[in-house]
Every structure is written in structure tokens, then in C-alpha cells.
Amino acid sequence: MFQRQKIEQSFYNIMAFGILILFALPAIWVIFTAFRPANEVNVTPPIWIPQKITLDAFASLFGFNPDIAAGVPVGSYMWNSIRVSLLSTIISVGLGTMAGYAFSRFRFRGHTLVFLLIMLSRAVPGVALGLPLFLLMRQYGLVDTVHGLALVYIAINIPFTAWLMDGFFRQIPKELDEAAYIDGCNHWSAFWRIDLPLALPGMAAASIFAFLASWNEYQLASLLTKTPVAKTFPVGLFDFTSQFTVDWRGMAAMSVLMMLPAIAFVILTQRRLTEGLTFGAIKG
């Protein structure tokens, strides 16, 4: 029986590994393209494993080689992406956490209706929001600005964060709050000293989702940003396209740069993410 279970477990592990490799193939191909020589990019049949590793694409990306990629302001795109993602993540997680706490702890008139309306706002497709958001941002002079784009991402991320944190706060016994009230705490003190520390795994999970959603978003960013002053990485990728040609190697090199901060962010918060998704706000 033990031997059979061991064989089944090995089979499942191999299957899971194969599925992961299958889903990772596009990313693997992008990485290989970024490091392969230029004469291997568009050949037929395709060369899967680069025969030679070169950093020419990255050198061109930062202007060390005089080719088409040298004119792409990579530094500006990276700085804009970092500012937009961090700003939207910090504010949306902060506001969403307080909203989730309010919905989980207090009952008021229209409680369920307001919560459902907030959730339904997240269900609206981004393409349907494009034109209204553009007109609104243009009216207030926020088109092609980092703060305007961050404001849009904040509004998009708050509903999901509020829903996620509402679930975490509901797992924290209300008796802890009542004990804090008896000891002289008000609602804010109980939230800050009791509930918030217990909900940190949930905040870590919400931060990862909000950061990645802002970092990788293209549709609204392409509509609301026009120049390197506010363009982010996803929009900047199209600087490698022209009327008749596409610099696939330069685009792949920039894509690799896009992956690095997101991968580092997830690795650093992986433990908290696992705790948040599996155990909720209270450790077992």
C-alpha cells in the first residue's frame, strides 16, 4: 500500500511539473529570445535553445549599441511603473483594509447593498471604462500623468481588497474586540492594536494582487498615457514596433526586465501570501 501511494504521488508530482512547464513556455521563450543572437530570432524552423548567449539586446536597451532599441527610455518606463504600482498598492490596500474591517464589524442601513455595489463595480470590463475614464481624466488634467493613472488603479483595486480583507476580518473572533473595549479601547484602537496585526497575512496577499494588477495592466495605461512622462512598461513595449518591422529581441529584453521586480516581490512575500490564502487571518 505504501509503495502504491508513493508511485501515485510521484506520478502527480511529474504531472504537476509538466503542467507548470507548459504554462511557463511563453515566459521561457521570451527569456531565450532576449539572450539569443539576432540571427536566431526569426529563423524557420525556430531554434528553441539559443546556440549562443549574448547580452547585446540589453546593451541596446540601455543605449550602449546604436540600434533601434537605443532610443527607448527604459529608465523612465521603469520609474513610472514602480511609482504607479507602489502608490496604487499602498493606498488601495490601506483603504480596502479599513473598508473590509467596517463591513465585517459594523451593521448599518444598506450594508449589504453597498457591499454588493462595490463588488459589482469590479465586474465592469476595462474596455467599457476606457472612454469615461479618459474624458474624466482629461477634464481634470490628469491624462498622461503618473498620479492620474495611479488614481485609476486605486479605484480598480479597492473593491477586490475590501472583499478579501472582509473575509479575513470575519475570521477574527469579535470577542477580541469586545475584550479590548472593556479595557478602554475605542473602535480605532481595537482595529489598530488587535485586528490589524492579525490580518497582516491578508494584507500581504492583497498587496501582491494589487501590485501585479497595476504592474501588468496595459489597456487603461495605453489610453491614459501618451509620452514617456507617464508611460509604463507594458505600454513602452510597443516602442519596439514600427510600420514594417518589430524588434522582437529588444521587446523580449524589456519583458525580462518587467518580470524581475514582479518575481522578486512575489518571492519576498511568498510566505505571507501562502499564510493569507490558506489560513486566513488567524494561524492554526
Give the DSSP per-residue string, 197-256.
HHTHHHHHHHHHHHHHHHHH--HHHHHH--STTT--HHHHGGGGB-SS-B-HHHHHHHHH
Q: Are residues 26 and 133 in the same domain?
A: no
- pLDDT tens digits, 36-92: 888 888 877 888 888 888 888 888 777 766 554 456 788 889 899 999 999 999 999
What is the 8-class DSSP label of residue 141? T
| CATH number reported for the structural domain that contains residue 197 in this entry | 1.10.3720.10
Q: Any idea of the CA torsion for 236, 242, 245, 248, to the nearest 10 degrees?
A: 0
Looking at residue 283, what is its pLDDT?
43
Q: Are residues 97 and 23 in the same domain?
A: no
Domain-embedded: residue 66:
no
Looking at residue 127, what is its pLDDT?
76
Q: Are residues 26 and 166 in the same domain?
A: no
For residue 243, the one-letter residue type is Q
The total of structural domains in the chain comes to: 2
Domain of 32? 2-54
279 within 8 A of 201, measured Cβ to Cβ: yes
Q: Stretch 257-265: mean pLDDT, rounded?
A: 82
Q: Are residues 25 and 112 in the same domain?
A: no
Looking at residue 80, what is its pLDDT?
93
- pLDDT tens digits, 111-154: 788 888 887 877 777 778 888 889 999 999 999 999 999 999 99
Q: What is the pTM of this model?
A: 0.81
Q: Are residues 240 and 114 in the same domain?
A: yes
Q: Are residues 37 and 93 in the same domain?
A: no
Looking at residue 65, what is its pLDDT?
64
Looking at residue 149, what is its pLDDT?
93
Q: Are residues 144 and 270 in the same domain?
A: yes
- pLDDT tens digits, 154-178: 998 999 899 888 888 888 888 888 8
Q: Are residues 127 and 206 in the same domain?
A: yes
Q: Stretch 232-257: mean pLDDT, rounded?
A: 83
Domain-embedded: residue 130:
yes
For residue 5, pLDDT over 60 is answered with yes
